């Protein structure tokens, strides 16, 4: 019997730190093209096909609807969203973007999927919630508007891009010194493979099969290393756990094994 071997991320070793990025719906086609190295067309296509059901709480996006109150409160407790200028990176159909705007934030949501952004904009027309959406790569926006946001969120995205370190570095450039950056992603271990892929995708059917690539899951140490390299200080790591019997999620600081949230802050003297 062959031992289980954890695959490494295809872009780095466990302790490697990636290179820093170089120096509407509003669509920024040239910016998108310039940063196409950090786009996986298969990932974009995957969510484009599902986008029409983004706001259906009983669709494939039910897990996002279910965890949104937890992640919204987690962000708001630390950052204090009211009156803040907030960027939501990888906003998709706008579930988190809209909820942050309802808390009083001035929100900009960016994504590279055209259809999810169209769905997001249509939903704002239905609800009257003000959110600005742009189709632009986060690296391009960082070059265009460095240090422009009080808070940056990047939730459930890092595990879907070829170079998460580049995204983290761009988020760090976009937030003002002293501002907060929030990430959420999936840990890479045997338990997360069993629960997030085998359990959620194949047994419980909570997510479409193929939603996640285990090799792209990110260990907390890797996330922290990329964050440090970008001038961010990790302040908190908190897990999100799921109870299949009650079908509910909760935050748990002692369990980072599968889904987890991270709070980081840009150092005041970071350039």
The residue extents of the domains of the chain are 39-266
Higher-pLDDT residue of 207, 64: 64
Beta strands in 125-224 (DSSP E): 131-135, 149-155, 175-186
For the cut 80, the answer to whether the pLDDT of residue 254 exceeds it is yes
Band (170; pLDDT cuts 50, 70, 90): very high
User: Burial level of 52, CB count in 10 A (0-12/13-18/19+)?
Assistant: middle
Range of lowest pLDDT (28-37, 198-207, 219-228, 245-254): 28-37
Give the pair of three-digit tokens for residue 171. 């988020």
* Run of H or E residues at 101: helix 95-102
CA within 13 Å, CB half, 47? 26
In angstroms, the CA 201 to CA 47 distance is 15
Q: Which CATH superfamily is domain 39-266 in?
A: Vaccinia Virus protein VP39 (3.40.50.150)
Higher-pLDDT residue of 244, 84: 84
In angstroms, the CA 51 to CA 120 distance is 9
CA within 13 Å, CB half, 26? 11
For the cut 50, the answer to whether the pLDDT of residue 42 exceeds it is yes
In angstroms, the CA 209 to CA 202 distance is 6
Give the pair of three-digit tokens for residue 239. 């897990």
Give the percent of the chain with pLDDT over 90.
66
Range of lowest pLDDT (27-31, 68-72, 106-110, 227-231): 27-31
In angstroms, the CA 157 to CA 146 distance is 21
User: Burial level of 29, CB count in 10 A (0-12/13-18/19+)?
Assistant: exposed
SS3 call for 91: coil
pTM of the model: 0.83
Beta strands in the chain (DSSP E): 26-27, 85-89, 106-111, 131-135, 149-155, 175-186, 232-243, 248-252, 259-266
Backbone φ/ψ region at 147: left (φ over 0), alpha (ψ -120 to 50), beta: left
Torsion 45-47-49-51 (CA) sign: negative
In angstroms, the CA 42 to CA 112 distance is 12
Q: Cα–Cα distances in Å, from 136 out to 36, 102, 112?
A: 10, 24, 6
Tell me what pLDDT residue 141 has: 98
SS3 call for 93: coil
Task: Judge whether 103 and 75 are in contact, CB under 8 Å.
Answer: no
């Amino acid at each position: 019997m062959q031992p289980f071997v954890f695959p490494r991320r295809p872009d780095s070793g466990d302790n490697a730190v990636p290179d820093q990025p170089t120096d509407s719906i509003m669509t920024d086609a040239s910016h998108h093209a310039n940063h196409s190295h950090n786009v996986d067309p298969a990932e974009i296509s995957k969510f484009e096909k599902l986008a029409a059901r983004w706001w259906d709480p009983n669709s494939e996006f039910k897990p996002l609807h279910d965890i949104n109150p937890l992640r919204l409160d987690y962000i708001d407790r630390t950052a204090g969203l009211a009156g803040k200028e907030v960027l939501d990176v990888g906003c998709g159909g706008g579930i988190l973007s809209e909820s942050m705007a309802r808390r009083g934030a001035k929100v900009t949501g960016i994504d590279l999927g055209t259809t999810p952004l169209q769905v997001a904009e249509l939903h704002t027309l239905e609800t009257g919630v003000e959110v600005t959406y742009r189709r632009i790569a986060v690296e391009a926006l960082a070059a265009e508007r460095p240090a422009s946001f009080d808070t940056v969120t990047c939730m459930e995205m890092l595990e879907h891009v070829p170079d998460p370190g580049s995204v983290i570095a761009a988020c760090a450039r976009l937030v003002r010194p002293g501002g907060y950056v929030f990430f959420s992603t999936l840990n890479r271990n045997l338990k997360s493979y069993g629960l997030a892929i085998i359990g959620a995708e194949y047994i419980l059917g909570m997510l479409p099969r193929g939603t996640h690539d285990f090799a792209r899951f990110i260990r907390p140490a890797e996330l922290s290393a990329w964050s440090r390299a970008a001038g961010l200080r990790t302040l908190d790591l908190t897990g999100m756990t799921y109870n299949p019997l009650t079908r509910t999620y909760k935050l748990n600081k002692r369990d980072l094994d599968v889904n987890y949230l991270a709070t980081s802050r840009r150092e005041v003297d970071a350039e």
